[in-house]
Amino acid sequence: MSNRTFTMIKPDAVANGHIGGILNMINAAGFRIVSMKMTQLSTAKAGEFYAVHKERPFYGELVEFMSSGPIVAAILEKENAVEDFRKLIGATNPANAEEGTIRKKYAESIGRNAVHGSDSNENAAIEGDFFFSGLEKF
Ligand code: DAT
Ligand code: MG
């Protein structure tokens, strides 16, 4: 499990036609897709997924945005997956994201920032289980 991470292509990137471009960057960086689906979060489910941020001032906006349209959820596998994927996506605020990162290329703003990436092995497992059953992990 420690070689896996969890990602979402967020509603902004899906709406803007960037699913293919983002998946190409993920594949080119050497990640194997373990599980993948397109779905839409209810506000309740988005609130649950981001519960760790519920005291933050941007929580309401975040939940609203993440439930505003379809997303693509995926579990990814690679050696050192969590850390390497955080490097591939770049800084939370695209203004600070390095050249060559997914957020540099596709994020619109700090809130509408194209992709999610787990921040620890423990959260990668929790987040993957939030979206996928054992039968959906290949
Ligand atoms: P990350 O997605 O890089 O792990 P995070 O966990 O700190 O960032 O925050 C989760 C999401 O919340 C982030 O992707 C976008 C939104 N967010 C974070 N900080 C924000 C801010 N200052 N204003 C608006 N949205 C913010
Ligand atoms: Mg985070």
Domains, the chain, with CATH or none: 4-127 (3.30.70.141)
* Angle at CA of residue 125, ends 85 and 100, nearest 5°: 10
d(CA 37, CA 35): 7
Largest pairwise CA distance in the chain: 39
Paired strand residues for 75: 6, 35
Contacts (Cβ under 8 Å, ≥6 apart) of 89: 7, 97, 101, 102, 103, 114, 115, 117
| ipTM associated with this complex | 0.98
- What pLDDT does 84 receive? 98
Segment 32-68, tens digit of pLDDT: 999 999 999 999 999 999 999 999 999 999 999 999 9
Residue 32 annotated as binding site: no
Tell me the CA–centroid distance for residue 13 and ligand 1, in Å. Answer: 15
Residue 113 annotated as binding site: yes
d(CA 137, CA 83): 21
C-alpha 23, offset from chain centre: 12
Q: Is position 53 annotated as part of the catalytic site?
A: no
- Residue 111 Cβ inside 6 Å of ligand 1? The answer reads yes
To the nearest 5 percent, what fractions of the chain are helix, strand and coil? 45, 15, 35
Tell me the CA–centroid distance for residue 117 and ligand 2, in Å. Answer: 7
- What pLDDT does 1 receive? 53
Structure tokens, 9: 């292509």
Tell me the CA–centroid distance for residue 95 and ligand 2, in Å. Answer: 17
Given 112, 116, 131, 132, the catalytic residue: 116
- What pLDDT does 66 receive? 98
Q: Looking at ligand 1, which residue's alpha carbon is closest to its atom 5?
A: 92
Q: Looking at ligand 1, which residue's alpha carbon is closest to its atom 26?
A: 111
Contact present, 27 and 36 (Cβ < 8 Å): no
- Residue 60 Cβ inside 6 Å of ligand 1? The answer reads no
Residue 45 annotated as binding site: no
- What pLDDT does 47 receive? 98
- What pLDDT does 91 receive? 98
> Can you list the residues of the chain whose pLDDT is less than 50?
none
